[in-house]
Amino acid sequence: MSAPWLTLVGIGEGGRASLSPAAIEALAQARLVVGGARHLALAAPLGCEKLAWPSPMEQAYPQILARRGEKVVVLASGDPFFYGVGSVLAQKIPAEEMSCLPASSAFSLVAARLGWALQDCDLITLHGRPLERIIPALQNGAKIIALSWDGTTPARLAALLTQRGFGASRMTVCEHLGGPKERVRAVQADQFSSDEVEALNTLALDLMASRDARILCRSPGLPDEFFEHDGQITKSEIRALTLAALAPRLGELLWDIGAGSGSVAIEFMLADAKNAAIAIEQNSVRAERIARNALALGTPGLRVVAGRAPEILADLPRPQKIFIGGGPTEPGLIEAALDALLPGGILVVNGVTLETQSLLVARYGALGGRLLQVQVARAEKLGGFSAFRPGLPIVQWIFEKPC
């Protein structure tokens, strides 16, 4: 196409009166305007064909693509490429066939109202996502701006903050920013009232942690007591070494085979919000426990698969990283893991028993990699004194699959 035919127009609560001359001109030339019912009303009057987003939105994409070459406008909230429809359309339409006229995002409007430096804030969306995904960002002194899912989000978030020791935090509820119905209210989280809140709201959090607040550290090796477990857990110190060996990188997928409490998979996901993990656990009670841990520690996207490896591995997406904990006792498990591992990926296996350790020594001799023996001793009371009580030694085999 010699010129863009699709224009993305960001629109706020100020409606048509707040649009730029370029946006007004795009609407005047449009043969079709697509948007939510609220956006179409804000942009009125429109002298062309209108299409309200159906549910699901994907049903409208063929109709938009069918108008290729005609002047089409898609309306979106604020900046279409900031948690908006712009990035979805860009996957279907070449960039040179689109133009974008953004308005101020809700994040920018909140920062402007509160006098916050936007670059110093964590920007999160809770719209259509589990509330618990905010947990990793709960740090003392942090500032967070979050898009709400609906009018119930502020009360639910206030309860979560109070439960996790952040009740003294200042929470600002911003409704209908930029329009005639704008309202901005601030309250301490543990004093939040469940008064009715408009569905269109954005939240600003100025976090203050109490002494007993449960804060997730940014380094691997969370305290064991952060996890619900029955003793089947990779202990904190060994877990830190294991995560270092796995070397999480942006957007990677981990298989945690024999996941136990899910601690390795959860911390792999905590390393970066774009990371993913599949926790594979044959014990159904532990599988349910893993899901609870994932929710409590801010990784609700962790996929838990209850089943026996290696049989269950065949239908799973291939990973860049695999961890096998507790000892690879199942015949063919290591072979199946190596086959599934993507080229350049890393397999880490921890062995506790002599039988498993001898197997890892043999694998090291045949394939190479790195082989470590680690033993941790913790100080414990011994009568009226203290002494180091050693844990079982761990043999760890680390293998990087050739490209």
Residue 65 is predicted with a pLDDT of 96
Domain boundaries, the chain: 6-103, 107-206, 224-400
Report, in angstroms and rounded to the nearest whole number, the Rg of the chain calculated over CA atoms.
Answer: 26
Question: Hey, what CATH class is 107-206 in?
Answer: alpha beta
Residue 3 is predicted with a pLDDT of 81
Q: How far apart are CA 285 and CA 283, in angstroms?
A: 6
For residue 393, give every residue at least 6 positions away whose Cβ sits within 8 Å of its Cβ, in sequence order, or none. Answer: 352, 373, 374, 375
CATH superfamily of 224-400: Vaccinia Virus protein VP39 (3.40.50.150)
Amino acid (one-letter) located at 298: G
Amino acid (one-letter) located at 262: G
**Residue spans of the chain under pLDDT 70:** 1-2, 326-329
Residue with tokens 């970066």, as numbered in its chain: 272
Residue 2 is predicted with a pLDDT of 59
Cis before 319? omega within 30: no
Q: How far apart are CA 92 and CA 68, in angstroms?
A: 12
Q: How far apart are CA 285 and CA 220, in angstroms?
A: 26
Hey, what CATH topology would domain 6-103 get? Cobalt-precorrin-4 Transmethylase; domain 1 (3.40.1010)
Residue 194 is predicted with a pLDDT of 74
Residue 81 is predicted with a pLDDT of 95
DSSP label at residue 258: T
Kindly give the interhelix angle for 263-270 and 284-296, rounded to the nearest 10 degrees: 30
Q: Tally Cβ neighbours within 10 Å of residue 304.
A: 22
